[in-house]
Amino acid sequence: MSARRSALLCLDSGTTVVKAAVFDREGRVIASAQRENRALRRDGDRVEQDMGLSRDDAFEVLRICASQTSVRIDGILVTGQGDGLWSLDADLQPVGPAMTWLDGRTRQLIASLGLSGHLSRIREVTWSRPTSATQSLQLLWLKQNSPDRIQRVAHALRLKEWLFYSLTGELLAEPSAILPTWGSWRTGAVSRTVQDVLGLSRGLELLPTLSPVSACRAGLSATAAKTLGLLEGTPVLQGPGDVQSTLIGLGLGLRPGVSRASIFGTSAIHAAHVTDADAINPSPEGAIVLKFVLGDGYFHLHPCFNGATVLQHLRGLVAALPERVEPAYSSVIVQPFFEPAGERAPYTTPDALGSVLGINAETSPAQIAWAAREALAFIGRKSYQAMQVGLGPIALGGGLANDGHFASFFATVMNATIERVFSGHASLRGLAAIGAKFILGEPDGAVSGVWCGGADDRASPQGAMIRQYAERKFAVFERLAECVAAEWPCLRTLQNSLVDERAR
């Protein structure tokens, strides 16, 4: 078979959807498959995932993709939702369900640690304040609430590391996913400070062996090869987290002029490619910095817990809320903090709570639905202002990139051109670009020119009337957020007291 007929098989196991695609040597999708994430379980603050079912779903979409094409698979690339605790025992079996990045059980823990200054000491090392999504705090929660279970934990993984192990039998991790929790992005080294400050007897000892993305690889095991219908020994490369993979797929740091990008998926992520480390603004505390795996510089991220799922949460509260809506400008302001874990950036607090303000008897469900979209755009503007990054277009991906009305309003709020990428394969395309460089040996020019897709559409700022409306409403949104945020801790205390009372 000719080398021109070879291809890369890419997997992204997300919070909402598990998907895979095969890319040929010209960067074209020649096969794809996806399925709903069946493994996620929500129960109040508890947001867990069945590890075995997560593996099975991932294997199934890989198997379907492999069966759809006869081209030779030169490599498999893997990513998945970031953060969380996916633990194995000494026999390399799951220790209960995974605590996902949305799990909110560490909220009260964070409040007590913050008062004692522990989180500030950790932030001095990692540059990012621990949140409910942070693996180290989830280990501490297990230590305090499930001592029998924590004693069984021999390995602390993330989802992509669990899937990589399931495919290869090797425990490896690439550092960009590890360092925001356990080390320094500046030095690239892990630090015992985190576990010492938290009083964890084991922390770094539980992590997989670290290897840069270029070398974080192993051969497909015989068992996995039989399940997938692929050749044993096929190279499997562990990519960076799904966020960086998606940003690369959107062209951040690769396509000329694209130095900013936003993703509105389950979460919302706002990011800038920064080449000067000293120019990175250290506020807010929930910001994260990742080393760019395909070139020089860093990705400066504002990862929000609350993304497009805000719309789903609101539909659960307002039965008549439409799933799709045209602009319905109004006095309604939504504060989009509905996840049990609170918020990570640009507001960094486990106490954040959602609100719907400015309603009356004439308010329509469509106005609430549109105000939620406005809120997501306003949060994006807050993030880019805090990052203090330059002008230029913003690449837009995720489910809301398909909403042309939202893209136009986001362009108006940001006063910038929005380059929409709505193929749905951004994370997989980013993985393919990584594989093109590190498995196929493609030069950097080919990676940026062939493997990173361009914009599918562009949205420009709207006219003067909508610009004025957006400016006035953004100002009110900011002021209301400051006012209400002062009461979040009191509201959380009230909520917790009711939960404790019901538990008696």
Do 38 and 53 contact (CB within 8 A), yes or no? Answer: yes
pLDDT at 361: 95
**What digits encode the pLDDT tens for the residues 75-111?**
999 999 989 999 999 999 999 999 999 999 998 888 7
Strand residue runs (E) in 433-500: 457-459
Judging by DSSP bridges, how do beta strands 394-397 and 260-264 pair with one another? parallel
203, 181 Cβ separation under 8 angstroms: no
Question: Would you say 24 and 91 are in contact if contact means Cβ atoms under 8 Å apart?
Answer: no
pLDDT, average across residues 3-15: 85
User: How many Å apart are CA 480 and CA 259, to the nearest integer?
Assistant: 30
- Name the region of 358 (left: φ>0; alpha: ψ -120 to 50; beta: rest): left
Stretch (H or E) spanning 165: helix 159-168
**How many angstroms separate the CA atoms of 24 and 5, rounded?**
7
Give which of 254, 213, 246, 128 is closest to 439, Cα–Cα: 213
* Look-up of token digits 């000491």: 121
Q: Which helix (H) or strand (E) holds 430?
A: helix 426-438
Q: What is the pLDDT of residue 501?
A: 60
Task: Provide φ and ψ at 25, rounded to 5°.
Answer: -70, -10
Mean pLDDT of 213-224: 97
The CA-based angle 268-273-277, given to 5 degrees, is 115
CA distance 336 to 447: 37
Q: Which residues pair with 238 in a beta bridge?
A: 78
Residue 107 has a pLDDT of: 85
Segment 297-306 shows an average pLDDT of 95
Q: How far is 498 from 44, CA to CA, in rounded Å?
A: 13
Contacts of 4 (CB under 8 A, 6+ apart): 25
Determine the pLDDT at residue 98.
97
- Structure tokens, 68: 């759809």
Task: Work out the average pLDDT over 435-446.
Answer: 90
Query: Residue 271: which H helix or E strand, with range?
Result: strand 268-274
Domain ranges across the chain? 3-239, 244-498
The confidence score (pLDDT) of residue 502 equals 58
CATH architecture of 3-239: 2-Layer Sandwich (3.30)
Handedness of CA 309, 244, 206, 192 (dihedral sign): negative
**Residue 474, pLDDT score:** 98
> DSSP alpha helices (H): ranges in 333-403?
365-387
Q: Model confidence over 28-66: pLDDT tens digits?
A: 999 999 999 999 999 988 999 999 999 999 999 999 999
Phi, psi torsion values for 172, nearest 5 degrees: -135, 155
pLDDT (0 to 100) of residue 1: 35
User: Which residue spans within 153-196 are E strands per DSSP?
Assistant: 155-157, 172-173, 183-184, 189-190
Q: Please give the share of the chain, as a percent, with pLDDT higher than 70.
A: 98
Question: Is 244-498 the same fold as 3-239?
Answer: yes
Residue 450: DSSP 8-state:
I
Cβ(136)–Cβ(206) below 8 Å: no
Q: How far is CA 300 from CA 120, 140, 164, 210, in A?
A: 19, 27, 26, 22
Question: 471: which DSSP letter?
Answer: H
Reported as a single tens digit per residue, the pLDDT across 394-437 is: 999 999 999 999 999 999 999 999 999 987 789 999 999 999 99
Q: Looking at the predicted structure, is the pLDDT value of residue 148 above 80?
A: yes
Architecture of domain 244-498: 2-Layer Sandwich (3.30)
Q: Considering the entire predicted model, what is its pTM?
A: 0.94
Contact 234, 227 (CB under 8 A): no
DSSP 133: T
Cβ(411)–Cβ(460) under 8 Å?
A: yes
pLDDT in tens, 154-182: 999 999 999 999 999 999 999 999 999 99
104 in Cβ contact with 45 (< 8 Å): yes
Query: Over 366-381, what HEC string results?
Result: HHHHHHHHHHHHHHHH
Confidence of residue 444 (pLDDT cuts 50, 70, 90): confident
pLDDT of residue 43: 92
What pLDDT, on the 0 to 100 scale, is given for residue 373? Answer: 98
Collapsing DSSP states into helix, strand and coil, what is residue 123? helix
Q: What is the pLDDT of residue 460?
A: 97
Alpha-helical runs (H) found in 173-279:
175-182, 193-198, 222-228, 242-249
Tell me what the mean pLDDT of segment 363-374 comes to: 97
Give me 459's structure tokens: 């949205």
Span 124-137, average pLDDT: 91
Q: What is the biggest distance separating any 2 CA atoms in the chain, rounded to whole angstroms?
A: 69
